[in-house]
Amino acid sequence: MIEILFEDDYFLAAVKPSGLPSQATVDKSRPDFFNTLKKQLQEERGKDFYLALHHRLDRDTSGVMIFAKNKLANEPLADLFKKHQIQKTYLCLARKKKKLEEKWIVENHLLEKRDAKTKKMKMVSVKSGGDKALTHFQTLKIFDKGVLIQAQPRTGRMHQIRVHLAENGMGIFGDDLYDAPTTPKAERLMLHAFALDFVHPMTQEKIRLEAALPEAMTSFMELL
């Protein structure tokens, strides 16, 4: 059963588990979060229940996602994302460096390229070309074998947080695409979409949606 975090007349927010694509893939037999959630809601409330997808999380990232509940809400929600008026906050467990800053910013340009070894598509920083990527980072807690980091992306590039940390020598535990620590071994990518902050376009209320850290991440902290 998918956990519903928030709901009003316009929007609905729910918690995506790790390992599930945000939306349908080429393989139609493979489950995805959006259609699983929509099916759950239609079974509860009737087959005409409306739900629209406006953003995505990486397959192995867990956390909060928000959807439009009716066609009237589509454009306002799309505008919030397009104009970067939704502040996304992520939490992750990453490799510890000897010199750790309390706060830092990474700003560069990222380009999608095929990895020569794995043949998978990944993001790399480039001197020219690519798309601007900006992330604010903060060290929240230091462990013996790792560190808990808060990341707030100001742009929405694919794998942005993962590549910004990996290229800074602070790869995220469980990352199978970018440079990452392997001891202790993580059962999943230790990256979680913790919160969304925005001003509700209909009511003008300040909204903060939080998805608690999953048990897999809290228990992994014990190993660190």
Cα 90 → chain centroid = 6
Mean pLDDT, residues 54-68: 96
- Give pLDDT, residue 17: 97
Whether the per-residue pLDDT at 224 is higher than 90: the answer is yes
Mean pLDDT, residues 192-208: 97
Percent of the chain's residues with pLDDT above 70: 100
Average pLDDT, the chain: 95
Instruction: Provide the domain limits for residue 132.
Output: 4-223
- Give pLDDT, residue 115: 84
- Give pLDDT, residue 128: 83
**3-class secondary structure for the chain?**
CCCEEEECCCEEEEEECCCCCCCCCCCCCCCCHHHHHHHHHHHHHCCCCCCEECCCCCCCCEEEEEEECCHHHHHHHHHHHHCCCCEEEEEEEECCCCCCCCEEEEEEEEEEEECCCCCCEEEEEECCCCEEEEEEEEEEEECCCCEEEEEEECCCCCCHHHHHHHCCCCCECCCCCCCCCCCCCCCCCCEEEEEEEEECCCCCCEEEEECCCCHHHHHHHHHC
Whether the per-residue pLDDT at 24 is higher than 90: the answer is no
Q: Which conformational region is residue 15 in: left (phi greater than 0), alpha (psi within -120 to 50 degrees), or beta?
A: beta
- Give pLDDT, residue 66: 98
State how far the Cα of 107 lies from the Cα of 132, in Å rounded to an integer: 7
- Give pLDDT, residue 29: 78
pLDDT tens, position by position, 125-164: 998 888 999 999 999 999 999 999 999 999 999 999 999 9
Residues facing residue 17 across a β-bridge: none
- Give pLDDT, residue 81: 95
- Give pLDDT, residue 26: 80
Mean pLDDT, residues 80-105: 95
Whether the per-residue pLDDT at 28 is higher than 80: the answer is no
Whether the per-residue pLDDT at 170 is higher than 80: the answer is yes
Report if pTM > 0.85: yes
- Give pLDDT, residue 71: 95
- Give pLDDT, residue 116: 81
End-to-end CA distance of the chain: 30
pLDDT tens, position by position, 29-56: 789 999 999 999 999 999 999 999 999 9
Q: What are phi and psi of 49, to 5 degrees?
A: -60, 130
Catalytic residues, by residue number, are 58
Is the Cβ–Cβ distance between 209 and 195 less than 8 Å? yes
Whether the per-residue pLDDT at 182 is higher than 90: the answer is yes
- Domain total for the chain? 1
Mean pLDDT, residues 1-7: 96
CATH number at residue 82: 3.30.2350.10
